[in-house]
Structure formats: structure tokens, C-alpha cells
Structure 1
Amino acid sequence: MDWKLEVVVVPVSDVDRAKVFYEEQTGFTVDHDTRIRDGVRVVQLTPPGSGCSIVVGTGVTEAPPGSLKGLQLVVPDIDKAHGELVARGVEVSPVQHFEAGARVDGRGGDWNSFVFFSDPDGNGWAVQESPAG
């Protein structure tokens, strides 16, 4: 039996602001924006090429806005991903790698090149380069 991760709920304080950030600045696709009933709105967005989506909304989580850390995307070209995020106005770290447990500027070896950013509420994202092939 396959167990596929489909959705991660991202706690935000302003659904419209989060929707704009994820759609326009990170390039996620809006799958739907649904008001289920008073006080419950679900906005599902999916990163390009991903099998897993995120949900922002009202009435969908009790987690405090900005409390989610360690969300991770994987890309084939970290420099291109960095450039796309910068061009879309995302405040993103330089390309970095881990060395002795610390983040150091510059590319690392296989699976060790990253950029980091946060959404407007402070939910933390990492973008990691996968090795070629």
C-alpha cells in the first residue's frame, strides 16, 4: 500500500496575504480557494511539479501563525531556484551548505546546497538541490 503525503497545513494570520505570497512570489499554483462555511476557508496551493500541496486558511489549524519550520522543497538547480525567488521578490538567503553543523555561504556537495526563506508570517522553508542523475 502506498502512503502519499498530500497536504501540509501552514498556519498564517492573513489568508489573502499568504495566498498572494505563495502564488505570486513562490510560484505555487492555486488549486482551489473554498469557503466551506462561516469561519472556514481553505486555500490549497501546490509547488510546481510537486505531489504534495500546502493549505492556508481559517478554521483549519490551531497552530500559531509562523510556527511551522523546516518545510523543504527539492530542485535540480539551486542557483536557478535562487534566481527565480529573488526575481519574484522573495527575501531569500544566499546559496549555503552545512559544514560542521553550521550554515556556510556557497555550494556544498551532493544534497548539501540550500537556500532558505520565510513566508510573511515566519513559516520557514528550505530549498535543497538534488544531485544530478
Structure 2
Amino acid sequence: MTMQMKLELAIVPVTDVDRAKAFYTEKIGFHADHDHQVNENLRFVQLTPPGSACSIAFGVGITKMQPGSLEGGLLVVEDVRAVREELVKRGVDISEIDVQPWGDFAHFSDPDGNRWSFQQLPRRA
């Protein structure tokens, strides 16, 4: 039997939920799926990158990870140069393009220091 698994949610540890939500939706362009304040100790915010089947979540009372401890979040895009140009216009501090044999990358961090990369896959023959 072959087991099928789909990653559908990744937790991002943040200090300020509203600041993180504004950054990911207004600056990066994620879609706001849910924002539920269950009680004073539990708030759940779920956002999805455009075109992605996997979402991110953060909030209050959902993780014990230290804010800013996420490293290696990877968002695959068709044109990393165009994405970088758009994010620079939106005020995102994003690296120059890093060209590697396995793809072209641009790196950024959210306000808490969680580190992400955009990757444009190399053209295949």
C-alpha cells in the first residue's frame, strides 16, 4: 500500500498576531482564510499563499515555538525576479537574486525574523 500525505498547514511563531497578519497579507500577498478569537488564550489565524495548497497559521495559544525560529520556509514561484520587484515596491526587505544550479532564490524575513525564500525552479529540458 502506498500512503499519500499532503502537507496542509505550517505553524509560524510570531509575537504580534495583528502585525504578522498585516505583513503576510498586505506585503507578501497571502489570502486571509480565518481569524478566530476562540477565547482570551486562543486565537487562530490561517493564511494561504496564492496558488498554494498549504497554508500557514499563527496566533495565540497554538505553539510553544519561539517567535522568529522558523527557518527555511520555501515559496516556489514562476518568476522570482518579478516577485522580488513587486515586493520591493510593497516595502519588503528582500535579498538580491541568488542564482544556483537548483534554482534562483530571493530571501526575506517577517517582522519576527522568521526566514523565508522564494525559489524559481530551473528550466528542465
- TM-score above 0.5, yes or no: yes
TM-score range, shorter chain: over 0.9
RMSD: 1.2
- Secondary structure at the residue paired with 1:17? helix
Counterparts of 1:118-133 in structure 2 under 5 Å?
118-132=109-123
Which runs of structure 1 show a deviation greater than 2 angstroms over 4 or more consecutive aligned residues?
none
Which amino acid in the other structure matches residue 124 of structure 1? R
Give ranges in structure 1 of 5+ residues lacking alignment: 98-107
CA distances 1:60-87 after superposition (whole Å, capped 9, x unpaired):
1000100010000000111111111111
Q: Within 2, Cα distance between the matches of 1:132 and 1:32?
A: 36
Cα contact 2:46–2:57 (8 A) shared by 1 = yes
Partner of 2:78: 76
Which amino acid in the other structure matches residue 21 of structure 1? F
Counterparts of 1:8-23 in structure 2 under 5 Å?
8-23=10-25
Q: Within 2, Cα distance between the matches of 1:130 and 1:96?
A: 12
Q: CA deviation at 1:89?
A: 1.0
Which amino acid in the other structure matches residue 115 of structure 2? G
Q: Within 1, Cα distance between the matches of 2:68 and 2:121?
A: 27
Cα contact 1:76–1:131 (8 A) shared by 2 = no
Partner of 1:64: 66
Q: CA deviation at 1:121?
A: 0.2
- Secondary structure at the residue paired with 2:113? coil
Partner of 1:27: 29
Q: Within 2, Cα distance between the matches of 1:88 and 1:2?
A: 38
TM-score (norm 1): 0.87
- Secondary structure at the residue paired with 1:113? strand
TM-score (norm 2): 0.92
- Number of aligned residue pairs: give it: 122
Cα contact 2:103–2:122 (8 A) shared by 1 = no
Cα contact 2:103–2:119 (8 A) shared by 1 = yes
Partner of 2:39: 37
Q: Within 1, Cα distance between the matches of 2:51 and 2:108?
A: 19
